[in-house]
């Protein structure tokens, strides 16, 4: 598998037919065909339906981009998250993309004031969350129309129009706002265990998750007092791909003005890292 990926991911490598992959790797045709099939299933390799030739796929490209900047992103984002946490006396965390559909928490800061009542295990260090609607919207809002459509297709029909509008809003203002109930947090925790369950059950749990939440805040809804759990601002690499996000956690009810101030500070912190990566 590694030999095939190294071959196809070479910077100047053109698409290769299976026979050429076999010749260059020394694998049997049956073995090479099986490996390529598995790589296609994971999005690491693509097959041209007209020529039958193979090229490196988008999932591998996404992983490579994330890995290329991972060390700097982790270091810089952690410093920014800690500074935000100390300045506003709120919990904060850093989420990094580790695949085309998966993120992980690489740092988690909780001030002493809220440490004893911090009850959100889903964003603890090392926690992994899949990029499924309606969560992790800041990772999707600036993706291609095709990627957004695929993400939206996983959501119930009833909330897709709202989600589409929310994605446009996040792309314009530069951050997402999460408002969640305790039940919603429990459901997110449960989503991490669903990889081996039937699609019908997974679909039902996804539906329940969306029923328990009001998805983000649109501009017209940000008035008076508002309840916000998290504010997530994306970090872009040099190609404009979202590799991570900084997330500040008010986890309280506050004025819309104060919430927007926190959001702009979080966006500015993430933007400063994007500038360093460009």
pLDDT at 47: 87
- Residue with the bigger pLDDT between 17 and 70: it is 17
pLDDT in tens, 208-258: 555 445 689 999 999 999 889 899 999 999 889 999 999 999 988 899 999
Give the Cα separation of 267 and 176 in Å (integer).
10
CATH number assigned to the domain comprising residue 23: 1.10.10.10
**CATH code (residue 232):** 3.30.450.40
- Token pair 């500074």 in the structure block, residue: 83
Share above pLDDT 70 across residues of the chain, in percent, rounded to a whole number: 78
Verify that 202 and 241 share a domain, yes or no: yes
Residue 264, C-beta contacts closer than 8 angstroms, at least 6 positions apart: none
Output the pLDDT for position 15.
Answer: 85
- Give residue 120's Cα distance to chain centre: 18
pLDDT of res. 211: 47
The larger pLDDT score, comparing residue 14 to residue 77, is at 77
Of 28, 56, 84, which residue constitutes the final position of a domain? 56
Residue 6 pLDDT = 80
Examine the domain organization and report whether 206 and 144 are in the same domain: yes
- Asked whether residue 157 falls in the same domain as residue 68, the answer is yes
Looking at the DSSP bridge assignments, the partners of residue 56 are 45
Rounded mean pLDDT of 54-60?
Answer: 80
Q: Give me the mean pLDDT over the 162-183 stretch.
A: 87
Instruction: Give CA–CA dist 244/241, Å, rounded.
Output: 9
Do residues 129 and 254 both lie within one domain? yes
Q: Judge if 104 and 186 occupy the same domain.
A: yes
Average pLDDT over residues 51-74: 73
Residue with tokens 């819309």: 256
Average pLDDT over residues 16-43: 89
Residues 51, 101, single domain; the answer is no
Q: How many domains does the chain have?
A: 2
Q: Are residues 46 and 95 in the same domain?
A: no
Query: Which domain-ending residue is among 38, 56, 74?
Result: 56
Rounded Cα gap, residues 191 and 49, in angstroms = 35
Q: Is the peptide bond before 123 cis (omega within 30 degrees of 0)?
A: no
Average per-residue pLDDT for the chain: 83
Least confident of 38-47, 60-69, 157-166: 60-69
Calculate the alpha carbon distances from 174 to 44, 139, 142, 269 in Å: 29, 11, 10, 11
Residues 129-166: pLDDT tens digits? 888 888 889 999 999 999 999 999 998 888 899 999 99
Q: Which pLDDT belongs to residue 45?
A: 87
**Whole-Å CA distances, 222 to 160, 173, 257:** 21, 13, 8
Extract the runs of DSSP E, i.e. beta strands, from the chain. Answer: 45-47, 54-56, 91-99, 102-109, 128-130, 176-178, 225-228, 230-236, 242-249, 252-255
- The residue from 14, 40, 56 where one domain ends is 56
**pLDDT tops 90 at residue 101:** no
- Give the tens place of pLDDT for each residue, 196-205: 556 665 565 5
The per-residue pLDDT for 60 is 75
Whether 108 and 10 share a structural domain: no
Q: Which residue has the higher pLDDT, 240 or 121?
A: 240
Lowest-confidence range among 10-19, 71-80, 141-150? 10-19
Indicate if 76 and 167 belong to the same structural domain.
yes
Q: Give the list of residues 6+ apart from residue 34 with CB closer than 8 angstroms, or none.
A: none
Residue-level pLDDT at 176: 97
pLDDT above 90 covers a percentage of the chain that reads 41
User: Do residue 52 and residue 68 come from a single domain?
Assistant: no
**Given this model, what pLDDT does residue 202 score?**
59
Q: Are residues 242 and 188 in the same domain?
A: yes
Residues 72 and 146 placed together within one structural domain of the fold: yes
* Domain housing 260: 64-277
Is pLDDT of 1 > 80?
no
């Amino acid at each position: 598998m590694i030999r095939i990926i190294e071959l196809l991911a070479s910077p100047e490598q053109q698409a290769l037919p299976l026979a050429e992959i076999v010749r260059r790797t020394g694998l049997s045709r049956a073995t090479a065909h099986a490996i390529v099939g598995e790589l296609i299933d994971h999005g690491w390799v693509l097959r041209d339906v007209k020529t039958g030739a193979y090229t490196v796929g988008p999932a591998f490209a996404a992983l490579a981009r994330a890995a290329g900047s991972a060390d700097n992103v982790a270091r810089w984002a952690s410093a920014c998250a800690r500074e935000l946490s100390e300045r506003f006396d709120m919990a904060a965390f850093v989420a990094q993309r580790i695949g085309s559909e998966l993120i992980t928490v690489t740092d988690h800061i909780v001030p002493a004031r809220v440490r004893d009542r911090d009850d959100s295990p889903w964003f603890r260090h090392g926690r992994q969350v899949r990029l499924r609607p309606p969560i992790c919207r800041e990772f999707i809002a600036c993706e291609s129309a095709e990627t957004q459509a695929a993400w939206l297709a996983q959501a119930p029909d009833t909330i897709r129009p709202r989600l589409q509008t929310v994605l446009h809003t996040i792309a314009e203002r530069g951050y997402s706002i999460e408002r969640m109930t305790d039940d919603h947090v429990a459901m997110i925790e449960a989503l991490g265990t669903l990889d081996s369950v039937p699609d019908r059950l997974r679909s039902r749990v996804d539906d329940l998750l969306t029923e328990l939440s009001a998805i983000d805040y649109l501009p017209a809804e940000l008035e008076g007092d508002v309840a916000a759990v998290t504010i997530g601002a994306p970090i872009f690499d040099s190609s404009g791909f979202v590799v991570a996000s900084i997330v500040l956690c008010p986890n309280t009810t506050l004025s819309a003005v104060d919430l927007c101030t926190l959001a702009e500070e979080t966006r500015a912190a993430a933007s400063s890292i994007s500038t360093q990566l460009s």
